[in-house]
Chain A
Amino acid sequence: MSMKNPLILTPVFLLVVLFAGCGGDDQDQASGKMVRYLSLGAKVRGMDPMDIGDTTSSSVASQIFESLYQYHYLKRPYELIPCLAEDFPTGEDQLTYTFKLRPGVVFADDPCFTATQGKGRQLVAADFIYAWKRIADVKNISKNWWIFEDHIVGLDEFRDYTGRLKAGENVDYMRPVEGLQAPDDFTLVVTLKRPWPQILYLLAHLPTAPVAREAVQYYGKSIHNHPVGTGPYMLKDWKRGNKIVMVRNPRFRQEFYPVEGSPGDREAGLLEDAGKVLPFVDEARWQVVEEDQPRWLIFMRGQLDASGIPKDFYNRAIDPSRQLRSEMKDKGIRLQIFRDPSTYWYGFNMEDPVVGTNKPLRQAMSMAINRPEYVEIFTNNRAEVAQGVIPPLFKEYDPEVINPNCQYNPERARELLKEAVEVHGGPLPTITISTPGTDTLSRQMGEYVTLAMDNIGLKVKIDYMDWPSFQDRIKTKSSQVFQMGWVADYPDPENFMQLFYSKNVSPGPNNFNYRNQAFDTLYEKAKAMPDSNERRRIYHQMENIIRDDCPAIFLVHGVAFVLHYNWLKNYKPHVFGYGLIKYQRIDVAARQKSVGR
């Protein structure tokens, strides 16, 4: 039987023609407006500072909200400078801090300011107290109580009080907290329970930004959709899971581009806008792109100003000498390489009866891994071999130290394994390694570690799982060995050392469940000390204890490679700072010439 009627295929042709006719550029014409195009690798969960605990939400909301302090955009090592504070705090002891607020700071205009017909009002010290009480309020289930927990006089009691109430609406925010006082509109006095030298770093943290009470009352539970801050930008449009658009806040206070930077900044053109009024960019647009390929493609088409390099596209962008390929340079793309404040490891659960009590076993497993090879295979050489927990970015990092447990030494590992058998009192069982990922890369890493352990005569089993299952495993102390890492929140090694403090065992941040009296004593001492050579010496001692006890197989510290087009001016990567778009500028003519717009 032959085909009699070719018209049967008409629907297919119609569909193709209809859809094919709809192709074209997917971005609006910029028409001279200075627009910064960015991507988000994950969805923004919300824009209420109290509830922001992820880097994606922080990177967006920090364009709207500001804190008392911020990091200098150009200076390295990282340095704090006042933001909403007029200067650094005064105080005769380490327990009382008096902050003077910068005058002339107002909240962005918003309908929530009903008394002033939508005109944003002056920022006052009480706004900080209100914002911090919101974090303390149990009913708000804030992600950021860890910042203030057990630090400010009376704030923990305020939290207890909110916990005793039946409903959130009954919380009295006028209830005084002894350690938070506002003697006048521009003075904030904070009294601590004990010295807390890291306080200024945390007061540069987005969650500590002031929030207008009017906004919270006006928007109620939807406050996370309606950010009202004092920063350089205001939210214009937010389609959840799709895109975010921000526009310049016309009432932003006068702030200027830095007039000094680090060596090399002037030559790199980073001081060409020195002293100019911020911000430069009129509009910032974020597109949510969760997959690597589409993100890479829109970057290559010039629809993003900057991008990381996905693993699968690394060789297309970078040559074997770690230089940008010429075809990328021809497109006007530049490469920035910088260190991350991160460390990655396989951690041991020290409460596990097999690995927790067997130091030779832990050392053997650590020596079994060839870290330089690991770096090459799994990171495209975008990492540095770790000798301990403190990353090279920190000034407390000692480049001279060679940790024998971090050296690839299978012969010594086999000897240690024999000792481990004796310590265990018989043949070692199969060790289970919990891994937070079921993707190809996780499985490749798992295979690699299995082979490395097999090479020294140890059987391991890799247990792949998703992140919530993994968290459950480590927080309930039911893992044996786990793959994890930590990215520092601020440039103080205390942020890493807390991970080994015995009072922080799971479900706290010490997932190793590591307990060492000597370490604890040093931690408590260093935690209360201001930055000094003495404190640096103590941190070295603490790190040496960890290196020797080996509660983790320290693997690598991250190194980031970022690409950006040459039309993006004043672009300098910053690993701690957020709210950086205000410093950046777009050469609109260069962009239009390059991408044909």
Chain B
Amino acid sequence: MVSYIIRRLLYAIPTILGVLLITFILFNLIPGDPSYDIAGKSASAETIAEIRRELGFDKPRFLDTEALSQGRIAAAFDSQFFNHFRNTLTLNFPRSLTSHEPIWDEIKSRAPASLTLAAPMFIGLIATSIAIALVVAFARGSWVDTILVFICVVGMSIPMLSYILFGQHYLAYELGWFPILGYESGMQAFKYIALPCLLGIASGLGSYVRFYRTVMLDEMRSDYVRTAFAKGLSSPRVLFKHVLKNAMIPIITTLVLSIPFLFLGSLLLERFFSIPGMGSYFLDAFNSRDFPVINAMVFTTSLLYVLGQLVTDICYALVDPRISLR
């Protein structure tokens, strides 16, 4: 297994380099120069040019061929492309162009807020949807199955924004069950994340339940389930000991691969409930073309994703004895 992990980590290197290359190309393809914003609304052309120079936007994009022809190797590689690679791979992210804060400091202060919301929401969503899926699968073909599937389809059709607007207005404002918005760290956080968490679970249930229902039904039709019932095993025992265990492969896939994205936060929920998380940080960075921030976020997420894939593979081997990592 160790050699498998090492091999997978080595495979990750070209993936990460590819992500960096794509990020750089996107930076250059997407229109929008942060210098205009930084210079202020009445700035002259000279001021904008000076700011571009200070930010290094006037450097050659890939290679300074003139410096190269003169034999100045270090100067030749002092380009936007190589600086982008060098800074990212050495984790030397510059400060944010808009807030001037060190990017890692911002990530460290915002990631807990995002995770405080996203982790319980994710766990709640998975637990609830698997529980409902088991019920639905167990009662397949009955009125319970029909009604729940109908509710799932309706739930999937309603946009997330509608859940938020409804929940915030009726549950928080009209009924006063929850704070309308806000966020505090520590135990106080649970008071503030309760409603967004519930809304996140409610909005995601439809699609998750349908997916897990399909997975469960596939298993329920298997020979071993029929055999188990024929042997007189109780329904809970069949469901929890046999069906759930065999359905773990697709569940693990969605579960583990979703974890890196928890880091990115939930954009809509964070905005509407004023939760200072990563979602709004990423959106603001994109809207102001804060490339250092976008780059750091994309790089970190891709690293987590690659690690998530590795963990998924390891989990496969742990839950399914037919799979071995070589």
Contact = CB atoms under 8 A, between A and B. Distances in A.
A303 B180 contact: yes
A169 interface: no
22 contacts: A1-B138, A1-B141, A3-B138, A8-B135, A12-B131, A18-B194, A22-B194, A24-B191, A26-B191, A46-B100, A141-B51, A146-B43, A149-B47, A225-B101, A287-B182, A294-B168, A298-B180, A467-B287, A468-B36, A469-B32, A489-B42, A508-B45
B197 A19 contact: yes
B181 A294 contact: yes
A241 B110 contact: yes
A291 B272 contact: yes
Interface in B159-175: 165, 168-169, 172-173
Interface string B98-122: 1111000010011001000000000
B308 interface: no
Interface residues of B, number: 80
A144 interface: yes
Interface stretch (A247-255, A470-478, A565-573): A470-478
Contacts of A139: 54
B142 A1 contact: yes
Contacts of B201: 15
B139 A2 contact: yes
Contacts of B178: 19, 22-23
Interface string B168-200: 110011001111111100000011101101100
A143 B37 CA distance: 8
A469 B109 CA distance: 29
B93 interface: no
A53 interface: yes
- The interface centre, meaning the residue of B142, B181, B195, B236 with most chain A CB atoms within 10 A of its CB, is B181
A118 interface: no
Contact of B55 (A141, A298, A301): A141
A468 B288 contact: yes
A225 B102 CA distance: 12
Interface stretch (B63-71, B274-282, B311-319): B274-282
Interface in A84-143: 138-139, 141, 143
Interface in B250-295: 271-276, 280-281, 284, 287-289
A466 interface: yes
B22 interface: no
A380 to B, nearest CB: 20
Contacts of A144: 40
Contact of B131 (A8, A46, A242, A288): A8
Interface of B: 30-34, 36-45, 47-48, 50-51, 53-55, 95, 98-101, 106, 109-110, 113, 124, 127-128, 131-132, 134-135, 138-142, 144, 165, 168-169, 172-173, 176-183, 190-192, 194-195, 197-198, 201, 234-236, 271-276, 280-281, 284, 287-289
B280 to A, nearest CB: 6
Contacts of A5: 235-236
B36 A475 contact: yes
A4 B179 contact: no
Given A19-B197, A242-B183, A146 B42 contact: yes
Contacts of B124: 11, 15
A473 B139 contact: no
Given A240-B109, A508-B45, A297 B192 contact: no
Interface string A211-253: 0000000000110110000000000000111110000000000
Given A9-B131, A163-B50, A472-B33, A297 B169 contact: yes
Given A472-B33, A473-B31, A498-B42, 19 more contacts: A1-B141, A4-B236, A12-B132, A16-B198, A20-B177, A26-B192, A145-B47, A146-B43, A221-B95, A224-B99, A240-B101, A241-B110, A242-B276, A465-B31, A469-B31, A471-B32, A472-B36, A508-B43, A509-B43
- 5 nearest A-B pairs in the assembled complex, by CB-CB distance: A468-B32, A26-B179, A19-B194, A241-B276, A242-B276
A291 B182 CA distance: 13
A5 B132 CA distance: 12
B39 A143 contact: yes
A293 B36 contact: no
Nearest to B189: A22
Contact of A23 (B101, B176, B273): B176
A139 B50 CA distance: 9
Interface of A: 1-5, 8-12, 15-16, 18-20, 22-26, 43, 45-46, 51, 53, 138-139, 141, 143-146, 149, 163, 221-222, 224-225, 239-243, 287-291, 293-294, 297-298, 300-301, 303, 465-469, 471-473, 475, 489, 498, 504-509
Contact of A239 (B47, B101, B131, B276): B276
Contacts of B169: 293, 297
B236 A240 contact: no
Contacts of A26: 179-182, 191-192
A471 B36 contact: yes
A25 B271 contact: no
Contacts of A145: 39-40, 43, 47
A63 B100 CA distance: 21
Given A4-B138, A12-B131, A141-B51, A51 B100 contact: yes
Contact of B198 (A8, A9, A15): A15
B44 A240 contact: no
A16 B171 CA distance: 12
Contacts of B273: 294
A12 B201 CA distance: 10
Contact of B34 (A11, A51, A468): A468
Nearest to A241: B276
A19 B202 CA distance: 13
Given A26-B180, A143-B39, A294-B180, A508 B110 contact: no
A79 B132 CA distance: 67
Nearest to A486: B41
A73 B81 CA distance: 52
A8 B243 CA distance: 14
B42 to A, nearest CB: 4
Contacts of B190: 19, 22
Contacts of B289: 468
Residue in A15, A143, A241, A504 with the greatest tally of chain B CB atoms within 10 Å? A241
B323 to A, nearest CB: 28
B144 to A, nearest CB: 6
A523 to B, nearest CB: 14
A294 B272 contact: yes
Contacts of B271: 290-291
Contacts of B274: 242, 287-290, 294
B139 A1 contact: yes
Contacts of A138: 50, 54
B169 to A, nearest CB: 7
A225 B96 CA distance: 13
Contacts of A1: 138-142, 235
A557 B230 CA distance: 80
Contact of A504 (B44, B106, B134, B182): B44
Given A8-B134, A23-B179, A240-B99, A141 B38 contact: yes
A12 B128 CA distance: 6
